[in-house]
């Protein structure tokens, strides 16, 4: 009688151990990152120099190890707001004033990505890299053209564009939560610094020099 009860207890114990191992293996497989390649996208807002503007990013990354990856991100920010001062100090002008300037930035930055630890499905990470960026600024002024003696004065708006390449420095961090084994959602925060030239008196657009922005966005990634 006791022998039968012992065998039943041992069978239940073995069944419980097998179930625990299977459950742990399944949870580990769902929370682990076994793929070497990832594609990701970020949509959010750019804060700082240029005001609040929509900002987006697309990236591809390769992970030679589970903790270290190399990422190439193409980032785009539009509707950045600048100001053109028509008569900056120390100039003395009869007519002065300020004009609104719209700008956009496009940057390609390779990042080193570090994923120091994981908590089940939660994956925090930090990034840093140096690349190149392109800054474009546009503004419109009115150019006056006078016709004949009996003609009316015509004011024809003229659009001017400033285009400049600049060095870009990017650092940031984020966290991802795996929804499935390959798909993850999270939040990404990156500080980007564009080393533009200082404003000149003949085209005094501010802010100028080092343009500092902070992008905060929703992040999605896919492992392949």
pLDDT per residue over 131-159, tens digit each?
999 999 999 986 555 454 544 555 667 88
Please determine, for residue 84, whether its predicted confidence score (pLDDT) is greater than 50. yes
**Residue 205 C-alpha from the chain's centroid:** 24
Maximum CA pair distance of the chain? 124
Gap between the Cα atoms of 154 and 146, Å rounded: 6
Residue % of the chain over a pLDDT of 70? 78
pLDDT of residue 143: 59
Backbone torsion region of residue 209, taken as left when φ is above 0, otherwise alpha when ψ lies between -120 and 50, otherwise beta:
left
Report the run of H or E that residue 77 belongs to, with start and end. Answer: strand 68-85
pLDDT of residue 36: 87
- pLDDT tens for each residue of 6-56: 555 555 544 544 444 334 334 333 445 556 899 999 999 999 999 999 999
Over residues 170-191, mean pLDDT: 97
Over residues 53-63, mean pLDDT: 97
Q: Taking all residues of the chain, what is their mean pLDDT, rounded to a whole number?
A: 85
pLDDT tier, 93 (very low <50, low <70, confident <90, very high otherwise): confident
Over residues 180-195, mean pLDDT: 96
Contacts for 166 with CB less than 8 Å, ≥ 6 apart: 132, 133, 134, 135, 194, 195, 196, 211
pLDDT of residue 17: 44
pLDDT of residue 29: 39
Over residues 78-100, mean pLDDT: 89
pLDDT of residue 162: 94
Radius of gyration of the chain (CA): 28
Q: Is 127 exposed, middle or buried (0-12, 13-18, 19+ CB in 10 A)?
A: buried
Gap between the Cα atoms of 114 and 106, Å rounded: 24
Cβ atoms of 6 and 28 within 8 Å: the answer is no
Please determine, for residue 113, whether its predicted confidence score (pLDDT) is greater than 50. yes
User: What is the reported pTM?
Assistant: 0.78
pLDDT tier, 95 (very low <50, low <70, confident <90, very high otherwise): confident
Tokens encoding 160:
């001017």
pLDDT tier, 128 (very low <50, low <70, confident <90, very high otherwise): very high
């Amino acid at each position: 009688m006791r022998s039968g009860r012992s065998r039943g207890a041992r069978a239940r114990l073995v069944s419980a151990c097998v179930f625990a191992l299977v459950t742990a293996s399944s949870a580990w497989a769902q929370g682990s990152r076994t793929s070497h390649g990832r594609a990701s996208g970020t949509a959010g807002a750019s804060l700082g120099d240029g005001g609040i503007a929509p900002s987006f990013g697309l990236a591809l990354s390769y992970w030679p190890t589970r903790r270290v990856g190399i990422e190439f991100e193409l980032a785009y920010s539009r509707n950045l707001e600048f100001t053109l001062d028509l008569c900056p100090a120390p100039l003395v002008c009869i007519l002065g004033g300020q004009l609104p300037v719209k700008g956009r930035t496009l940057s390609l930055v390779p990042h080193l990505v570090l994923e120091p630890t994981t908590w089940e499905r939660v994956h925090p990470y930090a990034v840093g890299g140096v690349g190149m960026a392109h800054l474009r600024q546009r503004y419109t002024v009115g150019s006056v053209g006078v016709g004949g003696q009996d003609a009316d004065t015509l004011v024809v708006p003229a659009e001017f564009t400033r285009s400049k390449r600049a060095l870009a420095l990017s650092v940031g961090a984020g966290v991802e939560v795996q929804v499935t084994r390959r798909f993850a959602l999270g939040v990404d925060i990156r500080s980007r610094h564009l080393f533009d030239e200082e404003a000149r008196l003949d085209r005094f657009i501010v802010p100028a020099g080092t343009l500092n922005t902070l992008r905060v966005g929703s992040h999605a990634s896919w492992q392949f």
